[in-house]
Structure 1
Amino acid sequence: MNAILNYMKRNYKILGIVALLAIFLASFKTVSSELGLNNSINSILGIDKVDADPDKDKLLLELITFVIEKGHYDPAKIDDAFSKGVYKSYLESIDPSKRFFVQSDIDEFSKYEDKIDDMILNKDLSFFDLTYNRLKQRIKESEGFYKDILSKPFDFSKNEEFNTDYEKMPYPKNDDELRARWEKQLKLSVLSTVTDKQKLQDTPADKKDSTKDAAKVSDKKADDGKKKTFAELEKEARESTLKSLDDYFGVIDDLKREEWFSVYLNSIAERFDPHTFYFAPDDKEKFDTSMRGSLEGIGARLQKKGDYVEISELIPGGPAWRGKELEQGDLIMKVAQGKGDPVDIAGLRLDDTVKKIKGPKGTEVRLTVKKVDGSLKVISIVREVVEIEETYAKSSIVKKDGKIYGVINLPKFYIDFENKDNRDAAKDVAIEVKRLKEQHVDGIIMDLRDNGGGSLKTVVDMTGLFVQQGPVVQVKSAGKQKEVLSDTDSSVLYDGPLVVLINNFSASASEIFAAAIQDYNRGIIMGSKQSYGKGTVQNLIDLNQFVRNNALGDLGALKTTTQKFYRINGGSTQREGVSSDIVMPDRYSYIEMGERDSDNAMPWDKIDPAQYKPIKNNFSDAIAASKKRMAGNEQFKLMDENAKWVFAKKDENTYSLNIDKFKAKVVESEVEAKKFKALNDYKNSLVFEGLPYEKALLAKDPALAEKKERWFESLSKDIYVEEAINVLGDMQNKTAKGNAVTVKKDKMVKTR
């Protein structure tokens, strides 16, 4: 989602003030004998003389704020408002469920709320020291709470409730209130586990999904065939919750001060914008690994959100993506290994949650997730190794009303700058377009749904396949003139009817492509109301480059926003994204998604437009026909109804701790959700198939044939693709003729 656009590599040179600063520092010969810092940066940062045993935390604080202020595209002013933002973000990060601090702690902390800005400038760590030491104290006290609470059975006959909207929840007034909160939180956790166990063992054998190995879980029936009693299930649930918390506190006890300090540093860094982030040395190594594309496990990328972990991206072709149950935006609450009991992951670090979810190929993991509509669902997934080929461009053809149409799916804008022989999304898409033209297609769908972006060079090249030479995107660095990145090839590979499919999770490079197609009036953009809204470029800055002869160890790295990109019409895609010409209802239609949902996202703005000439296409009739068609389509009506239901349910955070009422609410939600089952069961009458060249390949490779068939099957259930095909039919013969374009010969492929 937050893919870093490789604009620097496109130019094969270092750009931006941060990189220039590094060169500037390296050019000086006089260095501090103790630390190796350049005397100039000593003066700039206010370091008079570094002690023989320097404080690494202070140095990191200085380096990070200095580099951000000098290198960020639009650095926020470090003032009282900034201080209050850091204060709120930091406390939410270290105690997201408000189950450690009490109100007296907050009263003591609050005197620093508008002083953190001054403390940053003065290299004062007293606020961090105070909160860090108090947190360690409160964590130790809480260990006694949960062990005592879980030692006795819960009484689920009481009429109690618990609200999980921790952000709006006040801090406990005292230790008694804190213990009461722990008790209710643990009671809800055990209650949900017990009801899951009951449901599993009450499910008839003929309705169990054997493909997910559901029959193997231990909490269905005892080995002798008898159902376990409620007391037995409740005891098992308490024991598994106890083990989960023991593991959790074991992890917390092992955390070093420097790891907590990284949380504090990121509370500062992320106030500049959501994509500015400090990577401690270990985190940087993991980030580098993730950028290389390690895709083992369930095929999902995760990010921390409050006390839990959010699904930020599903890897195309992976088991989670194929299962269609796990979705972006889902919150993972519990993790179970095969037939093991579910483990509550509340408060666990992201790394530790990932370790629980990952596992050997062929093993099962069961995730208890909170859906966007607020409902809880247990999803079983068999782990696999996700084939990297699944992220590459692929195409299919489909016939309708005597016409042939092509679908190109592009999961990301990939490229390898280091190896010219490696895959490049623009080249691969050109090959797929060529193959579709050989089939004499009457229109092409470019499917960029869930495409989180990638290389800026690639999107410029790919846009050039569909338009004449001209500007594609404008890039601006702080304090510099804009640079217009253009397609320089005057030929066009395909000039026929074109539809671009996007959704809420189409981000970054995807938005550049969609915006360029829209600004040139080259095709129709269809999908969600608007795309994700990420219109910024990040670069990873190694902090070690600023320090010579470093005796302090690895200082880590900083990912910071250095540039913004703009449409050729001058508008930014930041926050607003790209608005669809034809808005198609989806389950997130009424929910704020993407960059605009973040309180510290950079604002939308505009610059002067580039010089470009829109194509004289008139799509008004095709757009009007689609809107009329969807208005009368029962499936789209149901989708819109589902979206309204999701919006109404999203803020339902209060759960009854009475087992009868809890079960009744679960049943009520299931009944309400049943009417929307038709959305998953939908199947169109279209037959999608591979291109002729693939037939010989698929005959020799059954595994590849199976993957293709799965994709064709998913297309046959996709109402959005179906409507896009209808729109292509409406567009045919109405694409502007007489535009001075030179169609690229089939044998040619763009290789700029």
Structure 2
Amino acid sequence: MIVKKSLLVLLPLLVGANFIYTQTFDNQPKTDLTPTSDQSKVSVLIAQILSQGHYQKTTLNDSLSSQLLDNYLKNLDYNRMYFLASDVQSFEKYRYQLDNDLKDGNLAAAYEIYQIYKNRALERDTYVAKILEKEMDFTVDEYYETNREKASWPKNTDELNDLWRKNIKEQALRLKLNNKKWDEISKVVGERYKNIDKIISQTTSEDVFEAYMNAFAENIDPHTSYLSPARSANFKIDMTRSLEGIGAQLREQNDYTTVTEVIPGGPAFKSKQVQKGDRIVAVAQGDDGKMVDVIGWRVDEVVKLIRGAKGTIVRLQLLSSNADVTAPPRELRLVRDKIKLEESSAKGEIVPITHNGKPFRLGVIQIPAFYANYEDRQKGETNYKSTTNDVKRIIGELQNQKMDALVLDLRNNGGGLLSEAIDLTGLFIPDGPVVQVRNSNGSIDVLKDNDKSQAYTGPLAVLINRFSASASEIFAGAIQDYKRGVIVGEQSYGKGTVQSQLDLNRYMQGTDKLGQVNLTIAKFYRVTGNSTQLKGVTPDVQLPSVFSAAEFGESSQPHALPWDQIPASNFKPVNNISEKLVSVLEKNYEKRLQSDADLKELQQQINDAQKARSNTKVSLQEAKRRKEREEAEKKNKMLAAAEEDVQDNPVDTEAASTNSEEPKKKLYNLKKDDYLKETTRLIADLLLAAK
């Protein structure tokens, strides 16, 4: 409802029902990649939409032009491995011109820059083939810097060649450390770049246009984007979650296909072995298929390999998001399946613990997404499938099992339906405002829970992590602001913006598909007036986090919209949680952090992971790298040995029915989940403090 209301305000101000553009340019460079007349027209339309219709009105000026040039070059050549310094200097003539070009529909600069990038990329194939002719010397003590985002552009071809020599040597050494012979190493790396060249050679005008428009959109905010007609069609398919595959959203990032979202209910989610930020380096079909190296591939080509019929097997080689640059990939076997709403459902169970010598029965509900079956809802069915209805039902079941307190697990919940976040909050508060929404015209909507009844009034904890976002942050923020429950875990993601999808064919005459714009049109605010944007929700008790906000989260995005405030809404806290109580919980946690072996080990693992990720300079000497790998493998074996006596899938004997059905597997194992384990301790502390 919010999206539709905002669009009614926005769109008539932007363009008429039929946008007509007639100006053309004859001075476009004569290359194998040139813009079409439709693309020139669409660029003007997109510039209007993004400057006038975006939540944060943007002026097309010299400052934006300068940022656009830098962002376009960064997107094309992130590690500064293709353009020479002389190339970049030649682009300076466009630094303060691109804003005017956007207004006029002149795409000459964008295509000229891309053509030079394409030529430079294709030149690399000859050099790579040459240096792979002879086995490299891995006894030389030299290093390669893997992160060149802020490095200087190579001054000349000799400097560029040496940079590429080290780059290829690093890739070859990875394979050598996996016991590959030089002939195989040379073949794998050579084919990798032949494939990259093939992809670059097949670049279309549509690809260049999309890349340039997104370089523009990203300068306004990270969630505003342009999708070409082909990608727009894929986006609509993905939104229905009807494709059969592994259930992960992917994007190209620095030569890797990177996981940006793990879809609840899909095979990747169920495996619990795929996380945001993981990089896919190879894909194989079936149990016996050959691994196909996909480094440098276009994401849509990688997706074609991963997607497949339900029940078939795909194997992936992954570099973990928290692993250092020298780590070997791990292999994961997944059975493709259709991602269904039901598989994203909330699930709950009783987790018995003993704390300070006292037994407690804690209810834990896992909420992977905010979902609802709108068809059943529109039919008037009262028990339609939804997050709120499922959680309400589970609470009743847990209460029948005499639970003492409730934990809601929102880790890795990337959001979903705003209405469900509001309704779910209503299960735990009497009534009142839940979230405020400020639209692009400055108007503020206060969205409320109007149901005075509550499904649960007892002690409550909400567990969040860095990847809890959007609707999750609205719910957790409301529970915190009403002082209804204690928030535990990591600072959340910080996505406090609302997007709408605009089909460009609605605003421009013509029969050809023009693609779509995903446009940020509103921002979320908590009932206190604080935005969830950028900062997210800070837990009352903050547990160790392997991911910093600067690396993963909204604040890691260069052009994220800022945090700000609006007036507080009229709400009445229930005051179940006081500052004094939070202080007691924090002190208890700090004591355990100093003495509890599991928490100390968790903190050490996090410190090791952060240190490893910060190391972007790697040795190209085989002896050093082997020693580093042996030390890492030794530490991993020690950790695995410490967990050998932990049962992987304990069963819930209490949940076994009387008709001799098999006991169902437990959702949680506290011996392997330090975050939930500490959360259960904290809510037990809360129960003891209340007595």
Contact 2:280 2:316 in 1 (8 A): no
| Of 500, 504, 507, the match for 1:543 | 504
Are the aligned partners of 2:247 and 2:266 in contact in 1 as well (CA < 8 Å)? Answer: yes
Output aligned runs, 1:126-145, within 5 Å: 126-145=108-127
One-letter amino acid of the structure 1 residue matched with residue 313 of structure 2: T
The equivalent residue for 1:527 is 489
Residue 729 (structure 1) aligns with: 684
The one-character-per-residue Cα deviations of 1:421-479 (angstroms, maximum 9, x if unpaired) are 66211111111112222223111111000000000011101100010110000001022
Residues 381-420 of structure 1 aligned to structure 2 (within 5 Å): 381-386=332-337, 388=340, 389-400=342-353, 401-420=358-377
Higher mean C-alpha displacement, 579-588 vs 165-174: 165-174
Query: C-alpha displacement at 1:55, in angstroms?
Result: 1.4
Please show how residues 218-233 of structure 1 align to structure 2 within 5 Å.
233=181
The reply to whether residue 649 of structure 1 matches residue 641 of structure 2 is: no
Aligned to 2:231: 283
> Out of 443, 446, 461, which is 2:408 matched to?
446
Match of 1:70 in 2: 52
User: Is the 2:284–2:291 contact (alpha carbons within 8 Å) kept by the matching residues of 1?
Assistant: yes
Measure, in 2, the Cα distance between the counterparts of 1:355 and 1:262. 20
Q: Does 1:274 align with 2:222?
A: yes
Structure 2 CA distance for aligned equivalents of residues 289 and 679 of structure 1: 44
561-570 or 639-648: bigger deviation: 639-648
* Residue in 2 that maps onto 1:518: 480
AA of the residue aligned to 1:396: E
- Aligned partners of 1:417, 1:64: CA distance in 2, in Å? 32
Q: 1:384/1:18 Cα in 2 relative to 1: closer, same or farther (>3 Å)?
A: farther
**Deviation, structure 1 residue 107:** 1.3
- Once residues 573 and 526 of structure 1 are traced to their aligned partners in structure 2, the CA distance between those partners, rounded to angstroms, is 17
| Residue 97 of structure 1: how far off its partner (Å) | 3.5
- d(CA) in 2 for partners of 1:533, 1:652: 26
In 2 relative to 1, CA 116–66 (structure 1 residues): closer, same or farther, beyond 3 Å? same
Once the two structures are superposed, residues 233-281 of structure 1 have per-residue CA deviations (whole angstroms, 9 ceiling, x without a partner) of 2211211222222222222222211211110010001111000010111
Distance in structure 1 (CA, Å) of the matches to 2:478 and 2:271: 33
Aligned to 1:309: 257
**Which residue of structure 1 aligns with residue 68 of structure 2?**
86
| 1:376 alignment partner in structure 2 | 327
- Please tell me the residue identity of whatever aligns with 2:349: S
Amino acid at match of 1:369: L
Structure 1 window deviating more from structure 2 (632-641 vs 602-611): it is 632-641
Higher alpha-carbon deviation: 315-324 or 247-256: 315-324
Structure 2: gaps of 5 or more residues: 27-34
In structure 1, the residue matched to 2:563 is 604
Larger deviation, residues 535-544 vs 368-377: 368-377
What amino acid is aligned across from residue 10 of structure 2 in structure 1?
Answer: V
- Find out whether 1:329 has 2:277 as its counterpart: yes
The residue that corresponds to 2:131 in the other structure is 149
- Matched position secondary structure for 2:330: strand
Q: Which moved more, 1:353-362 or 1:465-474?
A: 353-362
Matches for 1:61-210 after TM superposition, within 5 Å: 61-196=43-178, 198=179
The residue number in structure 2 matching 1:561 is: 520
Q: Which residue type is aligned with residue 535 of structure 1?
A: G
Cα 1:696–1:534 change in 2 (3 A) is farther
Amino acid at match of 1:475: V
Q: Which amino acid aligns with 1:483?
A: D
Provide, for residues 329-368 of structure 1, a one-character-per-residue CA deviation record: whole Å limited to 9, x for no partner: 2333444566666554343211122233445645352414
Tell me, yes or no, if the aligned pair for 1:508 and 1:534 is still in contact at 8 Å: yes
Letter in 2 for 1:282: A
SS at match of 1:472: strand
Quick one: distance in 2 between partners of 1:59 and 1:713? 55
Q: CA deviation at 1:377?
A: 2.9
Contact 1:150–1:238 under 8 Å retained in 2: yes
% same residue: 33
Task: For 2:282 and 2:190, locate their aligned partners in 1 and report how far apart those are by CA, in whole Å.
Answer: 13
The 1:714/1:589 distance shift into structure 2, 3 A limit, reads farther
591-600 or 343-352: which moved more?
343-352
Partner of 1:667: 630
Q: How does 1:348-747 map to 2 (within 5 A)?
A: 348-359=297-308, 361-369=311-319, 371-374=321-324, 375-386=326-337, 388=340, 389-400=342-353, 401-420=358-377, 423-528=385-490, 530-548=491-509, 550-551=510-511, 553-588=512-547, 592-617=551-576, 618=578, 619-620=581-582, 621-671=584-634, 689=652, 692=655, 695=657, 699=661, 709=665, 711-712=666-667, 714=669, 717-732=672-687
Tell me the distance in 1 between the aligned counterparts of 2:269 and 2:23.
55
Call closer, same or farther: CA 1:54–1:278 in 2, change over 3 Å. closer
Contact preservation (8 Å) 1:638, 1:679: no
Q: How far apart in 1 are the matches of 2:653 and 2:419?
A: 29
- The SS at the match of 2:328 is strand
Give distance in 1, aligned partners of 2:421 and 2:449.
Answer: 10
- Greater Cα offset, 93-102 or 513-522: 93-102
Cα distance change on mapping 1:158 and 1:572 into 2, 3 Å? same
Query: CA 1:321/1:546 → structure 2, altered by over 3 Å: closer, same or farther?
Result: closer
- 2:248 paired with 1:248: no
How many Å apart are 1:624 and its aligned residue? 3.6
- In the alignment, which residue of structure 2 is the partner of 1:8? 3
1:408 and 1:182 mapped to 2: Cα distance? 51
Take 2:305 and 2:80, find their aligned partners in 1: how far apart are those partners? Answer: 24
SS at match of 1:184: helix
| 2: CA distance, partners of 1:299 / 1:624 | 40
- Alpha-carbon contact 2:550-2:556 (below 8 Å) kept: no
Are positions 1:57 and 2:39 aligned together? yes
Query: Could you give the per-residue CA deviations for residues 358-411 of structure 1, whole angstroms, max 9, x where no partner exists?
Result: 456453524141542414232211121345333111111122344322111010
CA RMSD of aligned residues (A): 3.0
| Relative contact order higher in (CA < 8 Å, ≥ 6 apart) | 1
2:29 is aligned to none
Compared CA separation, residues 599 and 20, structure 1 to 2 (3 A): same
Distance 1:661 1:359, change over 3 A: farther
Relative to structure 1, the CA distance from residue 681 to residue 500 in structure 2 (aligned partners, 3 Å threshold; closer, same or farther) is farther
CA contact (8 A) 2:276 2:321 kept: no
Separation in structure 2 between the aligned mates of residue 15 and residue 256 of structure 1, nearest angstrom = 32
Q: TM-score under structure 1 normalisation?
A: 0.82
Partner Cα distance (1:470, 1:333) in 2? 49
Counterpart of 2:30 in structure 1 is none
Distance in 2 separating the partners of 1:50 and 1:184: 43
Aligned length: 665
Output one character per residue of 1:529-577: Cα deviation in whole Å (capped at 9) or x when no partner: x1000000000011110023x14x1111000100001000000010100
Which sits farther off after the overlay, 281-290 or 366-375? 366-375
Match for residue 743 of structure 1? none
In structure 2, what residue type is equivalent to 1:712? L
1:750 equivalent in structure 2? none
Report the Cα distance in structure 1 between the residues aligned to 2:161 and 2:98, rounded to whole angstroms. 31
1:18 aligns with 2:10: yes
Residues 662 and 697 of structure 1: CA distance in aligned 2, closer, same or farther (over 3 Å): farther
Given residue 189 of structure 1, which amino acid in structure 2 is its aligned partner? Q
Give the match's secondary structure for 2:484.
coil
Greater shift in the superposed pair: 635-644 or 538-547: 635-644
Distance in 1 (CA, whole Å) between partners of 2:659 and 2:51 is: 54
